[in-house]
Structures are given as structure tokens and as C-alpha cells.
Structure 1
Amino acid sequence: MTKLPAVYIIASKRNGAIYVGVTSNLPQRVWQHREGLIEGFTKRYGCKVLVWSERHDTMESAIMREKQIKAGNRKAKLALIEANNPTWRDLFADIAQ
């Protein structure tokens, strides 16, 4: 399997609960969230809509970016989503293979 590090934001709905994560396989990870296979925050709050993602060359840079985003406040996270996806469209079809 080729690893493609990525940071992503998954939401329950527009302006709903949001979760920032990092993975080496974005399509698989988002599918796991959508199917409710991952225990924790995303399952509890129904976060199933991929609203933002960013690919990285290395897992280290992806983890650094995830930490940077998580350190920001909610307003900054919403601005990041809306700068690239103002309608909060589900981007899963764009990344699914």
C-alpha cells in the first residue's frame, strides 16, 4: 500500500461538530468514519461528512499540520473549511477510489 499522508476535517453537518484527524490512507479512514467503525468523538457526534483535506509528502509534516489546526480555535477551523468548501459539500466522492 502506498502511504499518502493527509490531514482532514470531518463534520456532522454544516457548522455542526467537527473533528480534525491525520491518516496515511484518507479514503479508507473517511469510509471508517462514515460507517461508524471508529469509536470515540466522531461516532458519538455523527461526524461523517468530509469537508476539508490536505495531502502531505510525509507523515511528520501531516502530524505537524494537524497539531497546528487543532491548536486553533473553532473560528479558525471554520474559516479553513469555508475558504475551500463554502457549501460544506461532502468531498468523499472526490477522494474515493
Structure 2
Amino acid sequence: MWLNTPADAENWDASIDRAPRDLLARLPPAFVAIADQDLLAPEGEQFADLMTAAGVPVEKKVYEGCTHALLAYSGRMDKSKELLYDCVDRVRSALYA
């Protein structure tokens, strides 16, 4: 891993949740997809909350009963198709707003 010391994990470029609020405030509107069975789900929730607190428009959607590999199953699982369509819809809206 590129972190040389445990302290490096505290740098915002390694852990985005450590980013200064003024930097987060410059992010574009975000769509945060969270698989509720993912071990990283709490971090997704936290990041969405941090962006919201910084004034970033955030749409958060939780996909129930899904794991981190959710998108890898696109086309084979209803929830993965739903996520794929949700992402495409958000990109389309951003491009053609």
C-alpha cells in the first residue's frame, strides 16, 4: 500500500472523510449508492453526511440486502440493474439539465 506510516491514513488524500469542509463544499452534486450489507456502508453514510454538512446536494440511496459486489452483478441481479439504471439516470440528468 502507498501509506508509509499509520499517520498517513489521516491525510485527506488517503481518507476523503478527513478532507477540509471548504474542499468538500466544492464538490458537485453527488449520488451515493450504499449496499446495506457492505462492510463499507457506514463509511458511505458518513461521507454522504459530510458532503451534506458542507452544503453539497446529496442523494443517498440504500440498496437493501446487497453487498459490496453489487455493481459486479449488473445485468444478472435485479438490484444491480436498479443501481446501474440509477447511475445512468443521474449522469443523464447532469449532462442534459
Asked whether the two chains share a fold, i.e. TM above 0.5, the reply is no
Kindly indicate which of the two structures has a greater share of residues assigned to strand.
1
TM-score (normalizing by structure 1): 0.32
Q: Which has the higher contact order (CA 8 A, sep 6+)?
A: 1
TM-score (normalizing by structure 2): 0.32
Kindly indicate which of the two structures has a greater share of residues assigned to helix.
2
